[in-house]
Amino acid sequence: MTNAVPFATLALAAALLLRMVHPQRPGLAGVAATAFSWLALTPLALLVALPGATTPQRAAVGAALAIALLARDREDLAQGECALKLTWVLAAAFALSWAGESLLALAAGTVPSLEQWPALALQLDPYGLWSAALALTLLAGVVLVGGAPFHFWLADVFHGARAWLAPLVVASLQVAGAALLAHRLEGIGAFPAGAALVRGLITIAAAAALVGGAATLASQRRPERRVGTLASLQGALVLAALASDPGREPFAALAPGSLTAWGAHLALALTGAGTLARFLPVGAPAADAPAVLFRRHPWSGAVAAYSLLSLAGAPGTPGMLLWLSVARRLALTRHSGLLLALALAWIVAFAVTAEETRRAFGSPSPRPAPEADVPWPARAAMWTAAAGLVLLGWQWWVV
């Protein structure tokens, strides 16, 4: 199993570097705010590094911490709006999922999920009770992974939150959602009727997430929102992997293969891509001059583009292995419809990110480089994320 702690630590270090870019408040208030930021980011990094220890309660605590971080700056209206959206979306999802957990425990007569499936297989309870309860238990996980139509909150966070905060908030919540789904469905093979119901439900959710995410990505113009939508496609990969075999861990076909591998890649790729998006032009034609980052620091722009391309599964990136592992799994289980949706989403994601990278590099221009500079902590964060992705890909390919 991939040890994600070093990679989550790299993502945390990159977040702290990006935090240095923003001006600090004078006096003791500024020191306290900075210390709170550093302390609050650590448990979010732990959610990424240790998905196996995630429970519904810990996922809810992580969501509450993310909302508190987004809402703490009263002068930033965009962050406050993100916090409000996350509050009503996640609170409703957790409430309905906990209601489903209670109903399922009532129907099975036991709380642990591994004990519930054999009890429900006896068919002592009406179909309507356990089927509705089982569907509700999956809601929080589906919302947290951010597949369409719940993908709006990821784009909103990248658009409205600061560069040092958005990647870890999104990655931690998505990893928590994937872990909740995997834990909820563990051992469901002992209940064939429930496995068939879950397979149908998650297949619909995965298809909607892939097609809806691809359509949204193709229509967006802001680089930050494109990064958020690429993150939603990563959540769609989890749903597609679970739809092929609900009782099996996502990305099990990837050596060494686990949620920790996916979470480590997600945190690093979102950090590099999210930082890059802050320096890209919005809706500028390809004939324009290159962005400031690529004029003054082309190598930093190149390594940041590597993170962006990895989210889309471009060849030569570790993200390619994630997309291929899910495609192979869908092919082996003969999910041709989902495989077609996955291929469509990959083509759109790769085309959009390649065009974004080409537009960022721009056309040769005789004009002098702009005077504005890119702060060194931002460039260091890009290099940190890219180095983590290279190490992660090397570990996957070698092992």
How many angstroms separate the CA atoms of 206 and 336, rounded? Answer: 13
Looking at residue 371, what DSSP letter applies?
S
* Percent of the chain scoring above 70 in pLDDT: 89
Residue 255 has pLDDT above 50, yes or no: no
Q: pTM for the complete prediction? A: 0.93
Q: What confidence category does residue 358 fall into, taking pLDDT thresholds of 50, 70 and 90?
A: confident
Looking at residue 392, what DSSP letter applies?
H
How many domains are contained in the chain? 1
Looking at residue 249, what DSSP letter applies?
-
292 HSE (CA, 13 A, CB side): 12
Q: What confidence category does residue 388 fall into, taking pLDDT thresholds of 50, 70 and 90?
A: very high
Residue 396, pLDDT score: 81
How many angstroms separate the CA atoms of 17 and 167, rounded? Answer: 13
Residue 320 has pLDDT above 80, yes or no: yes
How many angstroms separate the CA atoms of 124 and 344, rounded? Answer: 43
Q: What is the mean pLDDT of the chain?
A: 87
Q: What confidence category does residue 8 fall into, taking pLDDT thresholds of 50, 70 and 90?
A: very high
Residue 254 has pLDDT above 50, yes or no: yes
pLDDT tens, position by position, 331-356: 999 999 999 999 999 999 999 999 88
Q: Which domain holds residue 211?
A: 5-398
Of the candidates 10, 68, 8, 6, the residue with the CA atom closest to the CA atom of residue 36: 68
392 HSE (CA, 13 A, CB side): 37
Of the candidates 205, 323, 225, 219, the residue with the CA atom closest to the CA atom of residue 265: 323
pLDDT tens, position by position, 106-165: 888 888 888 899 988 887 778 888 899 999 999 999 999 999 899 999 999 999 998 999
Residue 53, pLDDT score: 85
294 phi, psi to nearest 5 deg? -80, -20
pLDDT tens, position by position, 218-238: 999 899 999 999 999 999 999
Residue 383, pLDDT score: 96
The first and second tokens of residue 361, run together, are 């590099």
The first and second tokens of residue 300, run together, are 């930093």
Given a contact cutoff of 8 angstroms between Cβ atoms, the answer to whether 54 and 176 are in contact is: yes
pLDDT tens, position by position, 45-74: 999 998 888 889 999 999 999 998 888 776
